[in-house]
């Protein structure tokens, strides 16, 4: 048994449709399909903002980052 730690690959994308990597879909995506078959699939995910990059980049609640789409914080006035 190997003593090396496992490789962990996290794939996050905002620019594709999840059904494309499902079996039987007409789009040919062998690499994405292999990742889907050998990895974990999360059917229910959550992000605190419609544009999820602020949440993923910081690990903090979107309100603390003052993302424009959050609607829960006041942005500083333009100088």
d(CA 51, CA 63): 13
Domain boundaries, the chain: 8-45, 47-79
What contacts 24+ positions apart, CB below 8 Å, involve 36-41? 39/9, 39/11
pTM for the structure as a whole: 0.37
What's the pLDDT score for residue 6? 82
Please compute the mean of the pLDDT values over residues 17-39 and round it to a whole number: 73
pLDDT tens per residue, range 50-65: 655 655 666 666 566 5
- Mean pLDDT computed over 25-50: 73
């Amino acid at each position: 048994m190997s003593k090396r730690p496992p490789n962990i690959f996290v794939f996050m994308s905002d620019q594709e449709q999840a059904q494309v990597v499902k079996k039987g879909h007409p789009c040919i995506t062998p690499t994405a399909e292999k990742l889907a078959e050998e990895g974990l699939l999360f059917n229910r995910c959550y992000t605190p903002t419609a544009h999820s990059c602020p949440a993923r980049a910081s690990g903090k609640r979107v309100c603390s980052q003052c993302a424009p789409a959050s609607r829960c914080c006041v942005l500083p006035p333009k100088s």
